[in-house]
Amino acid sequence: MIFYFSGTGNCRYAAEKLAHGLSVEAIDMTEAIRHRAYEYDCTREPVGFVLPTYYWGLPIQVAGFLSRLVCRFGKKPYVFLLLTCGQSTGDAGRMFARLMKERNLPFSATFAVKMVDNYVPLFSVPPKEKAEEILEAADVALDEVLAQVMRRQMGDFNTLKGKAPKLITGTIYPFYRYRRRTRHFAVSDDCIGCGRCQRECPAKTIIMAEGKPVWKKPQCILCLHCLHVCPVHAISYGKRSIKHGQYFNPNV
Ligand SMILES: Cc1cc2nc3c(=O)[nH]c(=O)nc-3n(C[C@H](O)[C@H](O)[C@H](O)COP(=O)(O)O)c2cc1C
């Protein structure tokens, strides 16, 4: 069983690829939370978590999901984490390990793969050819992760932590809380009122009012799904995102 969270398809792609290779099911954490589905028979192994790196840490709802998760494991469970990132993961792996320990859940190995960076408040989405290049390299890296998981390799195989991971996560992750404020989102007059952002928001934060999205909760996950899937690119976050393009993994 592979649990994943994905805003723009990278983790979904990686989770589905691994699930296929390992002949296990891929479970969308957002759907699981929505349906309050927290109990799983994990005797069919391995068990994996595929998560994006956010502010050199983990998306906010991961801790809540893990705190409710009830898994029935086999005798010698093998549980791995795969982080996807645009540049580096910092100490996100250790953050995850700590959460697993708190919950008395088994944890065996950490991996990380670089994919296209979707953080448009700061960075531009790379041109199509460059994005394809990154995703091709990610595919090779995912094959290697698959092979290591099949061999049940134990340990920390994350080579993408970057410099001073502990320091960078300790310094930067606290800002995630502030950046999750939905007042940073705006919608332009280009909005056609299709409601896709509202229907697909994993945090169910958006409502439609007079044909336009309104972020009704003060904070969200900041997955940026709404911004990236808007068919007319009418949603922005902060001043710069609009110049930085839109991205969704083309392989899902
Ligand atoms: C709120 C937010 C914060 C992010 N922070 C980081 C980061 O600290 N380091 C990094 O390398 N990439 C960061 N990214 C990029 C994502 O981790 C990366 O694009 C990931 O593959 C997205 O996965 P998804 O398509 O499944 O949502 C961030 C993205 C978002 C939306």
Give per-residue pLDDT as tens, 175-189: 999 999 999 999 999
Query: For residues 154 and 136, what is the distance between their CA atoms, to the nearest angstrom?
Result: 26
Which residue's alpha carbon is nearest to atom 28 within ligand 1?
A: 54
Angle at 91 between CA 86 and CA 93, to 5 degrees: 85
pLDDT-derived band at 45 (thresholds 50, 70, 90) equals confident
Residues with CB under 6 A from ligand 1: 6-12, 52-56, 84-88, 115-119, 222-224, 249
Give per-residue pLDDT as tens, 71-81: 999 888 999 99
Cβ burial, residue 183 (10 Å; 0-12/13-18/19+): exposed
Atom of ligand 1 at shortest distance to CA of 180? 1
pTM of the full structure: 0.98
pLDDT at residue 210, as a whole number: 95
Count CB neighbours of 62 within 10 A. Answer: 22
Token digits of residue 14: 């990686």
pLDDT at residue 105, as a whole number: 94
CATH of domain 182-244: 3.30.70.20
Q: How far is the CA of 74 from the centre of ligand 1 (A)?
A: 32
Domain boundaries, the chain: 2-176, 182-244
User: Does 44 have pLDDT greater than 90?
Assistant: no
| Across 8-36, average pLDDT | 97
Alpha helices in 103-236 (DSSP H): 128-150, 165-179, 196-200, 225-229
Q: Which fold, 2-176?
A: Rossmann fold (3.40.50)
3-state secondary structure of 193: coil
pLDDT at residue 147, as a whole number: 98
Of 142, 82, 121, the residue nearest 247 (C-alpha): 121
Say if CB 209 and CB 245 are below 8 A apart.
no
pLDDT-derived band at 128 (thresholds 50, 70, 90) equals very high
